[in-house]
Amino acid sequence: MAPDLTAYRLIQAPYYCPTGREIDLYEQAYARRLPILLKGPTGSGKTRFVEYMAYKLGLPLITLACNEDMTASDLVGRFLLDDTGTVWHDGPLTQAVRYGAICYLDEIVEARQDTTVVIHPLTDSRRILPLDKKGELVQAHPDFQLVVSYNPGYQSHAKDMKPSTRQRFVSLDFNYPGAAIEAQIVVNEAGTSTALADKLVDIAHRSRALKSHGLAEGASTRMLIYAAMLIEDGVAPTDACEMALVQPLTDDPDMTSALLAVVSAHF
């Protein structure tokens, strides 16, 4: 009996503001059930985009946040003991493959390479998932699609996608949206004014200019939304920006002072 995937279905359309042709391109890729790689900085809308497309296509979305402790069994399943004895339990990837969901592996480079190789047979014409421990070969449901993401800014030789994995995907590149669109997103998500959103976006742009000049990353759209929410709840703008836009970005006292000066100039 198929499990109830109702919990994985989005009942309301997630807000997503397109910045290019990504919606149309995703739909074209899904029509062929091609696996998709989303790459871009943290907080740039990759996860929200997948949620939006799952809703638009009417499909369940099973999301896994990858980490270095994740094993192949965490993906595909394992035998567990219950009151009837030893019973196989499908992992989230296997459920998506069997019953036709989008499986989204967020920050896939955080997972060990000996774990991610299990997705290889799903990313070519075979579309199968071998369950070696169970001795079963699962043929992917016609609706199944695999989507993965990663942040190229955090790449290292120790955490990079092998060419044998990367070349199995088509790819969409994400970046922070233009100022007008980003302000519109902040207004919608935080329920704030356009004037405040414009100030926050300008602060973010100034912080992003410091990437590789003292900052690993600039302020993300997500961080702007957090700052706007705090301000809407009555937190002083400078305090909200320090909490949401400055302290999460750096521990360096000089860089902190420089970012706080930018904030003070806007408020």
What are the domain boundaries of the chain? 6-173, 179-266
Mean pLDDT (the chain) is 92
For residue 212, the model assigns a pLDDT of 78
With CA atoms as reference, report the closest residue to 43 among 160, 149, 165, 161. Answer: 149
Residue 156 has pLDDT above 60, yes or no: no
Q: CATH fold of 6-173, please? A: Rossmann fold (3.40.50)
For residue 157, the model assigns a pLDDT of 45
Mean pLDDT of 86-106: 95
Residue 77, number of CB atoms within 10 A of its CB: 22
Confidence of residue 211 (pLDDT cuts 50, 70, 90): confident
Residue 188 has pLDDT above 80, yes or no: yes
Residue 2 has pLDDT above 80, yes or no: no
For residue 164, the model assigns a pLDDT of 83
Confidence of residue 169 (pLDDT cuts 50, 70, 90): very high
Mean pLDDT of 6-34: 95
With CA atoms as reference, report the closest residue to 21 among 173, 168, 187, 181. Answer: 173
Mean pLDDT of 151-171: 76
Is the pTM here over 0.85, yes or no? yes
Per the DSSP assignment, residues forming a β-bridge with 129 are 138
Residue 199 has pLDDT above 60, yes or no: yes
For residue 217, the model assigns a pLDDT of 87
- Distances, alpha carbon 16 to alpha carbons 7, 72, 154, 187, in Å: 21, 32, 25, 12
Mean pLDDT of 9-29: 95
Instruction: Determine contact, residues 115/70, Cβ cutoff 8 Å.
Output: yes
Percent of the chain at pLDDT exceeding 90: 78
Q: In sequence order, which residues have a C-beta less than 8 Å from that of residue 145 and are 6 or more positions away?
A: 30, 33, 34, 35, 36, 59, 102, 103
Residue 159 has pLDDT above 70, yes or no: no
Residue 141 has pLDDT above 60, yes or no: yes
